Amino acid sequence: MRIVDLLKREAVVLNADVSSKEEMLDLLVDLHDKAGNISDKAEFKKGILKRESEGATAIAEGICIPHSKNDAVQNPGIASITVPGGIDCDALDGEPSNLFFMIAAPATGADVHLEALARLSSILMDGSFREQLFAAKNVDEYLKAIDDKETEKYGEEDAKAAQEEAPAAAAAPAASGYRVLAVTACPTGIAHTYMAAEALEEKGKELGIPIKVETNGSGGAKNILTAEEIANCDGIIIAADKNVEMARFDGKPLIKTKVQDGIHKSQELIEKVVNGEAPIYHHTGEAAAEEGEGEGIGRQIYKHLMNGVSHMLPFVIGGGILIALAFLIDNPEPAANFGKNTPAAAILKTAGEYAFNFMLPILAGYIAMSIADRPGLMPGFVGGWMAAQGTSFASIIAQVSGAEVNPVSGGFIGALFAGFIAGYLVLGLKKITEKMPQSMDGLRPMLIYPVLGLALIMVVMFAVNPFFAWLNTLLANGLESLSKGNNIILLGAILGGMMSVDMGGPFNKAAYVFATGALAWQTDAGYMVMAAVMVGGMVPPIAIAISSWAFKSKFSDNDRANSPVNAIMGLCFISEAAIPYAAGDPLHVIPSCVIGSAVAGALSMLFKCTLMAPHGGVFVFAVVGNAVMYIVSLLVGSIVGAVLLGVLRKPVAK
């Protein structure tokens, strides 16, 4: 539909006498009412103000396009005014706005406002055209200038559309060519993201329904959906286990579900969309409100956690591999400085350690961002750093008084806590400040959220860090007591099993921190602890890979295709490679891996294998004491885990 078809003469005022944003909005709402576009002024204005609260609609170059898709709109339309003196509307370029178009779109039906927005934004960027609008002596000249410019820009496109619409073709596909659009995303962005995309695309071909799928993978978003495609499609499927950008889908029929459903229920999802069974999606602007109706608290927490984990993984993998390479090329003597005894090794290990230092802040920051959107990132990031440092009120006061202070890190558990608390604190600030005057909206993201968010997370983390430090110390002391006497094999089994309980989570990190601390003992017992922990952490990805090769009917084709990568990551001591499998089938994968890792850890202790390096996987086997039996321990543990997994799992439906 053309702009001039939506813009009636009675909805245009040139050289309007308004001096504030509120007066401008009131006048445009009145013009819509006068033109018969809306049935309820108050309800329509409420929608306009809600959209303004989510972000300024003033673009730049004096242009402002407020809009609302609203139940109060009975006829789609545009109202326009010019204000030569200009008024402040928080434009992106900081300049006053003087040319206004307010779009009113019905809550249901085609997305008229998206096409109108696109056309207006395009033609209004022409400076000479804007000058022509201001030079118009009356409304007729104003409308003619718009009509001429739109014909110049879109004449051929409009003519072609009119030809195509002439025959009665109610069932014809949307103009974009796609009836259904989809977005797929999994926490790691490696396997399930693309499996779901492939399943949806293949099922679309089978059903004869054109479909396009955007993948939010580890390398970023690919095959991105365009505004035109969104405007013209029948509906959208979001098959994701982490948050994706949702504002663009406002007003469209939309189904939001798990990434697994995209793989296993692709036909059901597509048919719901084309049969008109998908509910209309209304964007709220609040991340926590975008979870989808009927989603449980547990799943919400899982999605927030996985958002943090997916952003943390590159730091773990990149840093871990560089540290492993440092150990591979370094001179093992002196042992206390192993990894930095030569310049090349020191360079690699330093860079790897820098990446590891970001691990906890990134985890907490992106958990908080998943909960509260971008305002949650900074408080979460800083809260994660506070947890890592173990800073408390007492330690700061002691430091000020001149005492020597050695805070104990709150570790992985503290960072998880910081991420969730920061996210919900900022979400609370959003709710509290919703009632602020509209003129102060700009202060919320620029001043209120960062300052109060940081102050609140500071108070919370400085208060609770001693508890998390105590908890970490308690875990370490409990594990150390097992290393005395005849409990060394039991200790190996416990430490190895802990490495597989959550594959990079609190149990895994508690065992790893204990092992790295044991290196400071500079005894064979300490080196044996480190060896047991590393072999236990290597087992899960390797066991899954072996199981997928030996029990082919129990794994999908895509799972088997990914197994070589899984095996390689396991050999590099990257337990997190098993997370997608554990998340998809926890009742079978986790127990199998825990038992396999426990067997490997116990055997490593039994054979008195030692390891002075805190990381590295196969790259540091050269410095392992009793390396042959260490390899045997790894193989036996991996095979035990693989067999258990193969026996426990049911065949995969083809």
Judge contact between 207 and 329, C-beta under 8 A.
no
pLDDT at residue 172, as a whole number: 41
* Unique residue bearing structure tokens 């245009």: 12
* Type and span of the H or E element at 8: strand 7-13
Crossing angle of helices 411-432 and 359-372, in 10° steps, is 30
Q: What is the mean pLDDT of residues 21-42?
A: 90
From-to residues of CATH 3.40.930.10 in the chain: 3-165
Q: What is the mean pLDDT of residues 92-102?
A: 85
Closest CA to 528 of 636, 455, 601, 424: 601
Write the CB contacts of 614 (distance below 8 Å, at least 6 apart in sequence). Answer: 323, 515, 516, 519, 530
Does pLDDT of 332 surpass 90?
no
Crossing angle of helices 359-372 and 377-389, in 10° steps, is 150
> Highest-confidence range of 20-29, 63-72, 189-198, by mean pLDDT?
20-29
Judge contact between 244 and 251, C-beta under 8 A.
no
Structure token pair of residue 470: 């105590």
Structure token pair of residue 373: 């959107």
pTM over 0.75: no
pLDDT at residue 156, as a whole number: 67
Write the CB contacts of 612 (distance below 8 Å, at least 6 apart in sequence). Answer: 332, 335, 338, 519, 527, 530, 623
Does pLDDT of 171 surpass 60?
no
In a 13 Å sphere around the CA of 66, the CA atoms on its Cβ side amount to 30
What CA–CA distances, in Å, run from 338 to 94, 193, 368, 464, 612?
Answer: 56, 40, 37, 35, 8
- Average of per-residue pLDDT values in the chain: 82
Give the C-alpha separation, 617 to 319, whole Å: 13
Strand 97-106 to strand 67-70: parallel, antiparallel, or no bridges (unpaired)? parallel
In a 13 Å sphere around the CA of 97, the CA atoms on its Cβ side amount to 25
pLDDT at residue 643, as a whole number: 96
The residue with greater pLDDT, 488 or 99, is 99
- Band (pLDDT 50/70/90 cuts) for residue 403 is confident
Which 3-state string (H, E, C) describes 159-222? Answer: HHHHHHHCCCCCCCCCCCCCCEEEEEECCCCCCHHHHHHHHHHHHHHHHCCCEEEEEEECCEEE
Give the C-alpha separation, 200 to 198, whole Å: 6
pLDDT at residue 292, as a whole number: 43
The residue with greater pLDDT, 384 or 584, is 384
pLDDT at residue 175, as a whole number: 43
Phi first, then psi: what are they for 90, rounded to 5°?
60, 45
Does pLDDT of 152 surpass 70?
yes
Write the CB contacts of 547 (distance below 8 Å, at least 6 apart in sequence). Answer: 554, 555, 592, 641, 642, 643, 645, 646, 649
- Band (pLDDT 50/70/90 cuts) for residue 285 is low
Identify the DSSP state of 358: T
pLDDT at residue 336, as a whole number: 67
Does pLDDT of 288 surpass 50?
no
Does pLDDT of 507 surpass 70?
yes
Judge contact between 24 and 86, C-beta under 8 A.
no
CA angle 412, 594, 606 (to 5 degrees): 105
pLDDT at residue 365, as a whole number: 94
317, exposed or middle or buried, with CB in 10 Å at 0-12, 13-18, 19+? middle
- Band (pLDDT 50/70/90 cuts) for residue 504 is low
- Band (pLDDT 50/70/90 cuts) for residue 170 is very low
pLDDT at residue 167, as a whole number: 44
Question: Which residues are tagged catalytic?
Answer: 67, 186
Does pLDDT of 606 surpass 50?
yes
Closest CA to 103 of 43, 22, 34, 48: 48
Give the C-alpha separation, 235 to 365, whole Å: 32
* Unique residue bearing structure tokens 């006048």: 27
Structure token pair of residue 606: 């039994």
Q: Mind listing the pLDDT tens digit for each residue in 268-279?
A: 999 999 888 888
Give the C-alpha separation, 404 to 64, whole Å: 59
The residue with greater pLDDT, 369 or 335, is 369
What are 610's strand-pairing partners? 625
**Percent of the chain predicted with pLDDT > 70:** 85
Q: What is the mean pLDDT of residues 623-646?
A: 93
**CATH top-level class for 180-283?**
alpha beta
The residue with greater pLDDT, 90 or 513, is 90
Q: Which amino acid is at 240?
A: A
Structure token pair of residue 419: 């991420």
- Band (pLDDT 50/70/90 cuts) for residue 290 is very low
From-to residues of CATH 3.40.50.2300 in the chain: 180-283
Q: For 3-165, which CATH superfamily applies?
A: Mannitol-specific EII; Chain A (3.40.930.10)
Phi first, then psi: what are they for 134, rounded to 5°?
-70, -25
- Band (pLDDT 50/70/90 cuts) for residue 182 is very high
In a 13 Å sphere around the CA of 118, the CA atoms on its Cβ side amount to 15
